[in-house]
């Protein structure tokens, strides 16, 4: 009778241990699932933040490129439609560089000032360039004013566009000069060769004439 009771107690104890182990395994499994879910959510969050950062950077680059392209187009227009664009570019360089000083004195251009009108507003495409820089017309339409905080990057982009155009212009002039010099030298050689060939022909003709005589 006692042996039978001991067997039952042992079976109950084994069952209890199995239940405990089963619960532990379930808890571990649930913990693993919970950790995996948390890791997955964290990864998704990191990916989302990375994508958002990339989108912001790409948008900023696109805006910067658009501004650069706009300034380059404005510079080309000034160069194409004005007889003496170099003087205009020098003036625009001066205006842009003074804006970098962030001094209110350099934020206003009086269109009624004869000197300002002569150096700037008598040329095609100047107003477009100044508007890109941040200038805007006042209520009376007699002044161009930079209002609010100036964008330093925009100003530097404008200066860079002017510098690049000046560099390309000088490079083109130097190339044309080199080609012209090379062409003159080639022409001189061609003329000399032609003269020498004619002299040889004359000498040969003279020899033949003498023999015939």
The domains of the chain, with CATH numbers, are 1-213 (1.20.58.2190)
**Angle, alpha carbons 7-11-16 (nearest 5°):** 150
Is 187 a residue whose pLDDT tops 90? Answer: no
The most confident of the ranges 16-20, 79-83, 204-208 is 79-83
Does 122 or 191 have the greater pLDDT score? Answer: 122
pLDDT at 52: 47
Whether 160 has a pLDDT exceeding 90, the answer reads: yes
pLDDT of amino acid 213 = 30
What confidence category does residue 56 fall into, taking pLDDT thresholds of 50, 70 and 90?
very low
| Structure confidence at residue 76 (pLDDT) | 92
Residue 150: burial class (beta carbons within 10 Å; 0-12, 13-18, 19+): middle
Average pLDDT of the residues in 28-41: 66
Closest CA to 144 of 158, 133, 155, 157: 133
Mean pLDDT of the chain: 73
| Residue 23 in this model has a pLDDT that exceeds 70 | no
C-alpha–C-alpha distance, residues 70 and 129, integer Å: 9
Query: Does position 20 have pLDDT exceeding 60, yes or no?
Result: no
Q: What is the largest CA-CA distance in the chain?
A: 163
pLDDT band (50, 70, 90) for residue 94: very high
Over residues 58-81, mean pLDDT: 75
How much of the chain exceeds pLDDT 70, in percent? Answer: 51
pLDDT of residue 195: 53
Q: Does position 3 have pLDDT exceeding 90, yes or no? A: no
Q: What is the enclosing helix (H) or strand (E) of 163?
A: helix 152-212
Percent of the chain with pLDDT over 90: 26
């Amino acid at each position: 009778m006692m042996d039978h009771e001991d067997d039952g107690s042992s079976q109950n104890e084994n069952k209890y241990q199995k239940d405990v182990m089963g619960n532990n395994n379930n808890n571990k499994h649930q913990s693993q699932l919970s950790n995996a879910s948390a890791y997955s959510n964290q990864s998704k969050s990191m990916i989302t933040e990375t994508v958002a950062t990339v989108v912001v950077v790409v948008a900023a680059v696109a805006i910067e490129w658009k501004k650069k392209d706009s300034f380059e187009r404005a510079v080309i227009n000034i160069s194409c439609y004005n007889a003496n664009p170099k003087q205009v570019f020098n003036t625009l360089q001066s205006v842009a560089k003074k804006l970098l000083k962030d001094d209110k004195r350099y934020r206003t251009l009086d269109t009624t000032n004869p000197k300002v009108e002569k150096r700037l507003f008598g040329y095609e495409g100047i107003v477009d360039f100044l508007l890109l820089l941040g200038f805007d017309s006042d209520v009376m339409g007699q002044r161009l004013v930079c209002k609010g905080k100036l964008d330093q990057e925009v100003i530097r982009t404008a200066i860079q566009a002017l510098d690049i155009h000046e560099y390309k212009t000088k490079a083109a002039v130097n190339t044309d000069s080199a080609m012209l010099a090379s062409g003159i030298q080639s022409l001189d050689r061609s003329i000399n060769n032609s003269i020498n060939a004619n002299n040889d022909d004359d000498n040969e003709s003279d020899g033949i004439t003498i023999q015939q005589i």
